[in-house]
Chain A
Amino acid sequence: MRRNGAGRTTFLAVLLVCTLVFALTAATALRVFAGAAQTAARADDTRRAVYEATRAAECFRLYADDRSALAAELGGVWSGDTLEAATETGLTLRLEAQRPGADGRVQHAEICVLRGEETLFSLACAAGCGEGAAQ
């Protein structure tokens, strides 16, 4: 009887230790899963932001001289020199056009892609609009 009691205690202790180890391992694995999901979401956001910014930059190069066409193409509205649009991918696109300098040869734009107030990606691009510059 005494041997049975001691054996049962040892068995329960081992079972408890194993359960703790498994629980800790499983919890760590779940935390790693959560981290992986966050990292994947960040990568996805970056990819979307790059896509939207590239699209806006190419539209700007095409329609730098025609602000209404640019707004229509990007689906946004102008507020002064800033065009803001909600993208299909759930992000916000902000394009700030800088008026051409005294020579008026090249127009510049700062393009930002945001999620809420956080800037995910930004780039600066330019579009030539010199006289006689046939592309």
Chain B
Amino acid sequence: MRSGGMRAAGVGAVLLVTVFAVLCLGIFAALSLSMAKSELALADKSAASTQEYYAADSRAQELAAALTERLLQGDALPDTLDGVAVEPFGDGGTGCSFVLPCGTRQIRVSLSLEADGVTSRYRLLPDGDWAAEGDLNVWQGESGD
């Protein structure tokens, strides 16, 4: 009886350890897969965003080059170029700007005619108006007085 009871207790302990090990293995496997999948999704999003940005940038370069030539030659600036609205600024059409959508962002290019050529300014901005969050009660530091 005594030896049989000892054997049963030994088998029970082994069983418990095995159940625990298999459970841990399963949980860690599921967590690893979940993390790897989310990493892959993030990497794919990053790749798509990069492709999108360079496609928009290439188009911006083409448009900027065409408009630069017009500015240098003193030609009249068009209202639209390849379906993109061109906004002139400055006196006598000495500059212009245009905006290209780039996913959730936009590329804003400004070209201005200077004495030594055309200066271009590229800006990558968020699409739409951005409003600062004002509801949070954040400590603003000690007042100056």
Seen from chain A, the residues whose Cβ lies within 8 Å of a Cβ on chain B are: 15, 18, 22, 25-26, 28-30, 32-33, 35-37, 39-40, 42-44, 46-47, 49-50, 53-54, 57, 103, 105-106, 108, 121, 123-128, 130-135
Contacts and interface: CB of A to CB of B under 8 A. Distances in A.
B54 interface: yes
Contact of A126 (B18, B26, B46, B57): B57
Interface residues of B, number: 42
A43 B50 contact: no
B43 A25 contact: no
A57 to B, nearest CB: 6
B84 interface: no
Given A32-B29, A37-B36, A46-B43, A125 B54 contact: yes
B118 A134 contact: yes
A39 B65 contact: no
Contacts of A121: 47
B68 A123 contact: no
